[in-house]
Every structure is written in structure tokens, then in C-alpha cells.
Structure 1
Amino acid sequence: MVIDFHTHIFPRHKGSAILSDLSNRSDISHYTNGSLESLLQSMKQAGIEISLVSRITTHPKQVISVNQWLHKCIREGIRPMAAIHPDIPDLDAYMGTLKDLGFKGIKFHPDYQGFYVDDRKMYPVYEAAQALQLPVLFHAGLDRGLPPPVHATPRRLLIVHQQFPDLTMIAAHMGGEDNYDDTKTYLLGTDVYLDTAFVLRIMEKDALAHFFSKHPIERFLFGTDSPFTDQSTELNYFLDLPFLTQDAKDKILGQNAADLLNL
């Protein structure tokens, strides 16, 4: 089983504008039109059985409607990560409802949502997620479409991990695009998961091999960041990596995610 832990989809009436805006600001291409249907077609072509999908909310009033839309997208092969904003009311009760509805975790993009990951105002969110055993996926490191500062650096993510050791944390983009040295210093060897989304073919192969040798193989998750990469290209590139055993590849491509999410 191949599981893509990191993908994005958008409503049909918003997808074109969102992707055009991102392309203009960041010079990042897109390989589908961002719809659920185009992701399912991409998955079929690539041979990916399950994709975790997410969207971002920048205001608490958006949370309920975005999650309602994501919930409607649940079907064979599609599992949603919930959108959460730290300022929503009745946080604990709402997050419990999301878990009951089948959401597999929470996705944050601290740069877009305007908080540093180790800000104490986020602690109630982490406490609730930890108690509910809901994994939290963080965009980490550089966002090409936004100016500095980076709100989720490896050092700040380590602080959260130390404060909430039982919280399942996934640091996207191998701990943070353009923050690889800090990932080596602060995250490698910890229990924090790293996903391969977007940066798999960007990282130097020597650096990639170092990451895989110094961090537990059970703490890596295959992700593509579709539609901002092509799922088939990312998967084939990963399969051709010479420094990973087949057992390690099987774990990263699906077994780790299946174990984590009880799929």
C-alpha cells in the first residue's frame, strides 16, 4: 500500500484562483487543477491507494465550513486532515467531534495562520490533540510564497515536542524546506515524524541519505504536496533511491502511515 500523507484539494469554484495566486507569488507549478476528482485521477495513474488531504483556515469563522467540505470528500482512498484555528470556541468539544467524524489529524500552516508553533496560545490546541491522540501535521520551514519570518522552525518544533512528548507531530518538508541544517541539529533522532512532501527531489542526495540514516525509519512518511508536485514523479524518484532497503521503502511509503493512523 502506498499512502501519500500530504496533499491539498480545493473546491472547484476556488481552486483555479488559489492556484494562480500561489503560482504568481511563489513560482510553483501545479500538476492537477486542485480538485478532488483530479487528485483521484493522479492517484490512479501513480498507483497510490490513499491520500491524506487538507486545507488551511486563516480565520476561526472558516473552520466549520471548511471541515464540513473536507468531510464530504471522504471516500475510498481519501482521508481528511482537519482544519483548526487556535481561536475557535469550545475547542476540546469540537476537536472531539472531528475525531468522531473520521478526521485523521490536524493540519496547521503557521505562516498563513500567523502564529509561532511554540506560542503558548497554541498549547490548549496541542493539549486537546494529545489527549485525543490526533496527529498534528505542521507546515515547516520556508514557504516560497510568503516573506520571512519562518513560524515553524525545527528549533521551535522541538520546543513543542518537549512540552508535549505524547503529541504525534509531523514536520512537513523533511523538517522544513531550507532549514535542513537546523533539522539535523534539533529534530533528527527524535520521535517527530518527517514527511517528504515537495522537497524530496530538491534536497541533495547526500543530505537525504544522511537524514534517512540518522532518524528512525519508522518516523518518515511519504508525501508529495500534490498538486504542487506530480505524484507519479515523486513516487518513482523515491523508489529509485539507492541508499534505502526495500523494507525501509515499504515502511516510508505506507506501513508507517498505516500504523500511525490505524488504516
Structure 2
Amino acid sequence: MRYEFGAELAQRDGIDVHVHIECSDHGHASLPQALTDASAKYFKAEDRSPSLDTIAERYREWNLAAVVFTVDATTALGHEPNSIEEIAEGAARNNDVLIPFGSVDPLQVPQAVERARQLVEEFGVKGFKFHPSLQGFDPSEEKYYPIYEAIQELGVPALFHTGQNGMGAG
């Protein structure tokens, strides 16, 4: 199922651009267990794994839309991300409030370029999320430019998580 924007997005009070999908509908965690535990402790969160449909219900209640994504840090973490296709399909079911963003493993440049094209063209993702410290890369290095160029050609935005840890990017 390919995602298309829902007509009600313009009627929302705002858009939350940072909603991680921590667990797939099939129980696959987006991060290795040690990182999931540390994140839950840091954020003092009780429910770190609501389904996409539950997230959609919450955002409808709040009259907000949400950008939903996972982070592909396969090479850096040795852990497969949640299915971005599944996230896009869940967002398509709830396209009045959810907007799917894709993620590609920047440490796999040629594959990341092709994967970005596939996620936009076949699944309708509306942008990409990068998390440099988690993905283990410095986004200013020229070797990653082909990924950014492909995303630009696809006409979608790229968001970078920044902060104070790791390589100066969080």
C-alpha cells in the first residue's frame, strides 16, 4: 500500500516531526535491547512500543499529525531496523494524521541511494531521518553526498538529529 497525504492534515493544530516507532507490529524492537533499556530509563517512559494505529489514535485525540519513522543503523549497531515498509503501510491506513519518513543506512552508500529511491517511489515516504551518532557517521563527509543528492532529486526533505553526544551530533 503506497502512502498518500490525507486531506485532514491541513486541519491539524500542528505536526510532531519526531515520533520514533520503537517496536514493529510483530514485536521487533527498533534498537538492540541494551539501547532500548537505556532509552526507556533516560526518558522515564512507561509505554515505549505503542502500535502505529495506537499512535494515530492518540494524535487524532490531540488534533496533531505525526512524522513516524525508525532509524536504520544496521551497520553501526548490527541490528536490523523496524520495517520501513510496514511503517509506510501503517501511515497509509492513518494518512489523516501520520506521515511516514524513511531511513537508510548511510554506511552503505550505494545501497542507501537505491533504497531511498525505492522508499519514495514504491512506498510514498515523504522524507528521511538521519541520526548521526546512532548510525555512526559524520554527515559532513563528502562520501555521503550521493545519498543527499538522491534525496534532493526525489524532492523530499532530510532531517538530522543533532545534539551534544558522539561526534557532536546526537
* Residue identity opposite 2:116 in structure 1: M
1:176 equivalent in structure 2 = none
The answer to whether structure 1 residue 124 and structure 2 residue 146 are counterparts is yes
Match of 1:22, SS state, is: helix
Instruction: Give the conservation status (yes or no) of the 8 Å contact 1:115–1:151.
Output: no
Deviations 1:163-203 (A, max 9, x none): xxxxxxxxxxxxxxxxxxxxxxxxxxxxxxxxxxxxxxxxx
Per-residue deviation, 1:83 = 1.1
**Who is 2:115 aligned against?**
94
Cα deviation, residue 55, structure 1: 0.6
Instruction: Quote the residue 2:3 is aligned against.
Output: none
**Aligned mates of 2:80, 2:128 — CA distance in 1:** 15
| Pairs within 5 Å for 1:230-245 | none
Q: Secondary structure at the match of 1:41?
A: helix
* 2:109–2:147 Cα contact (<8 Å) kept: no
Residues 1:3 and 2:15 aligned together: yes
The structure-2 alpha-carbon separation of the partners of 1:88 and 1:66, relative to structure 1 and needing over 3 Å to count, comes to farther
Q: CA deviation at 1:4?
A: 1.7
Cα 1:43–1:15 change in 2 (3 A) is: farther
Whether 1:42 aligns to 2:62 is no
TM-score where L is the length of structure 2: 0.70
- The residue type paired with residue 37 of structure 1 is D
Deviation at 1:14?
4.0
Residue pairs, 1:152-191, within 5 angstroms: none
Which residue of structure 2 lines up, in the alignment, with residue 58 of structure 1? 73
Using structure 1 for the length normalisation, give the TM-score.
0.48
SS at match of 1:107: strand
Q: Verify: 1:29 aligned to 2:44, yes or no.
A: yes
Q: CA RMSD, aligned part only?
A: 2.7
What residue ranges of structure 2 are gaps of 5+ in the alignment? 1-11
1:214-255 per-position Cα deviation (integer Å, ceiling 9, x unaligned): xxxxxxxxxxxxxxxxxxxxxxxxxxxxxxxxxxxxxxxxxx
Q: Kindly indicate whether the alpha-carbon contact (under 8 Å) linking 2:71 and 2:130 is maintained by their aligned counterparts in 1.
A: yes
Q: Distance in 2 between matches of 1:8 and 1:73?
A: 13
Instruction: Report which of the two structures shows the higher radius of gyration computed on alpha carbons.
Output: 1
Q: Do the aligned partners of residues 107 and 69 (structure 1) sit closer, same or farther apart at CA in structure 2, a change above 3 Å counting?
A: same
Letter in 1 for 2:99: R
